Structure 1
């Protein structure tokens, strides 16, 4: 039943990553599709650390982000979150980018938040419990430093991705390397998120890993997006490409055809499973978000959209200012290779 391993991973999340202190309020949100074992283990760890855990479980919303709003107790949920020290989200239909999320981020300047969608005991164990974060943190901080110093970025994959864009120094570059001890929007260990300069993304993006929503699995035929000036102008592939285009159009919102962000995947324990949170951290992938961008990530107003979705490009090659740093998922830059926990 993995009880010992799960509790170890939960303790590591609470004590090592969030550095939870005695007397802090730790809110854990879940819905009726969330894994109760994970929720209970993390709540127990928070209590053992001297914190006051509060578990909020809601009926599973019909959508994610702002699309979840009609199914949420918006005022009550936001009222709790604006007073929390830590918010860990285990929802199946995530609240990230929802109205309660926006209120909490705008009003609660002490909040440490992390989105851990659809986490199972096995997932928490392999991506948190078994990952040694100290060397990974050094490596990821160096990649972040190099990315922030660059002016342009290009990404290709064997599946046919070839896309370039400009890096906006005013946009936040998030390095999620296992340190959630300070107020911010944090994500699972092993991702560096970049919001490109709006309007600068040009080329073809091919999803050959998980696409969520609407699927929650790896498409049978890769989904290709033609992107001009950061806007999706054509979607091609198999039947899932048609379904994906129908999904984006269903929002009746031009913002859902705008590219939002790109992220490197760097979690040594992550494997391709169909869970977007794990898949977008598979070592050597890149992940693209579509739709909403928060004002925190791209001040002053972000990018408005009714929802947000993500897709994975496996085995990525990455150039920063025309210098190759990663080739088909493997680090080739000598400085980075010396620091990398994965050779």
Structure 2
């Protein structure tokens, strides 16, 4: 990896997204496959006088697997955490405890040259998206019932009564996550409340599936996916989920709304999940997002052209963000 070529990317990750200040404790959690990225991050942190520790672990075998206890302990003491790892440690008890202790977490799962040089990272004005993200977050907080539809046939309804909202602007405050460059707003359905049909037609950026060749059609009853049909990719995904022998893998855990205007469909998780004009339905663990369910996995299923209704009012139709009125945001 050419250091000069990526210098701007690491500078932005540290100075804008992490907002690392002199004297702050920065913990970089990585595995042996990602040490080049971790090392360059460390250099960028020291350039702003942050106090950096790099923790290297064996590569996890699946997303959501806990890091070793010494690394979890280091995370809990950090002001800022970076996680350049092949398999996500986002939905783990270690991350939840670190956030509870006030850490700001910059998530860098499966970052590679393509992500580091993507317009979603380099061209995005992250600060400019903050008022839009907050406006959608407020819309979710004011409502109780969400309905999702799409031209392909999605029609899913669930309750959000009593739930909080995660507004991931990618400039996190203490206790917040930033899945850079995936700007999103997400909410956890009340467990057991989701019912209807999902037609996933963009990507499943996990397990090597990536951009979809054929739609994946899911029937949801009382909060859980009860059937999953489609082509070979759908069959592969269902077989992997079944292999965990845990019904919580099929829990409808999250609605995430893409908010990065520069993001494009690539098959990479942190690009795809931020695309304006998409939503993703997270399945599996919801605990780290504000729910109660713990599962061996958390995967996101991404679909195009959603219409989002909150208490019967349309707040987004495809890329049209009806929830955001710029004139109101300046008052």
Judge same fold: TM > 0.5, yes or no: yes
Query: Alpha-carbon deviations, 1:235-286, whole Å to 9, x = none?
Result: 1111221221111111111111111011000111211011112101111100
Q: Does 1:79 align with 2:78?
A: no
The match for 1:98 among 92, 103, 108 is 92
Give the equivalent residue in structure 1 for 2:324.
336
* Count of matched residue pairs: 326
Q: Given the superposition, is the C-alpha separation of residues 254 and 281 from structure 1 closer, same or farther in structure 2, using an over 3 Å criterion?
A: same
Match of residue 16 from structure 1: 16
Q: Tell me which of 102, 112, 135 is aligned to 2:104.
A: 112
Distance 1:223 1:321 in 2: 27
CA distance in 1, matches of 2:115, 2:89: 20
Report the alpha carbon displacement of residue 59 of structure 1 after superposing the two structures with TM.
2.8
Aligned residue among 274, 278, 298 for 1:308:
298
Secondary structure, aligned partner of 1:53: strand
Give CA-to-partner distance per residue, 1:175-233, whole Å, 9 cap, x none.
11132142323333520011011111111112212214323412221111100111111
Residues 186-265 of structure 1 correspond to what in structure 2 (within 5 A)? 186-188=178-180, 189-265=182-258
Name the residue aligned to 1:40.
Answer: 39
**Root-mean-square deviation (Å):** 2.3
Query: What are the within-5 Å matches in structure 2 for residues 122-137 of structure 1?
Result: 122-125=114-117, 126-137=119-130
User: 1:129: Cα distance to partner?
Assistant: 2.5
Structure 1 residues 187 and 203: CA distance shift in structure 2, 3 A: same
> Where do 5+ consecutive residues of structure 2 fail to align?
none
- Judge conservation of contact 1:35–1:120 (CA < 8 Å) in 2: no
Report what 2:170 is aligned to: 178
SS in 2 for 1:40: helix
Distance 1:315 1:140 in 2: 18
Summarize deviations over 1:107-130 as a string: whole Å, max 9, x none: xx1211122211124423422321
Cα offset for 1:303?
A: 0.9
Structure-2 separation of matches of 1:115 and 1:13: 10
* SS of aligned partner of 2:308: strand
Are the equivalent residues in 2 in contact too, given 1:139–1:339 (CA < 8 A)? no
The residue aligned with 2:277 is 284
1:244 match: secondary structure: helix
Q: Tell me: CA distance 1:164–1:271, structure 2 relative to 1, closer, same or farther (3 Å).
A: same
1:154-195 deviation line (CA, Å, top 9, x unaligned) = 1122232111111122x2211111321423233335200110
Q: 1:320 aligns with which of 291, 302, 310?
A: 310
Distance 1:57 1:238 in 2: 38
CA distance in 1, matches of 2:46, 2:325: 40
8 Å contact from structure 2 (residues 241, 250) kept in 1: yes
Provide the TM-score with structure 2 as the length reference. Answer: 0.90
1:79 deviation in Å? 2.2
Normalising to structure 1: TM-score of the pair? 0.87
1:144 correspondence with 2:143: no
CA drift of 1:148 comes to 1.2
SS at match of 1:242: helix
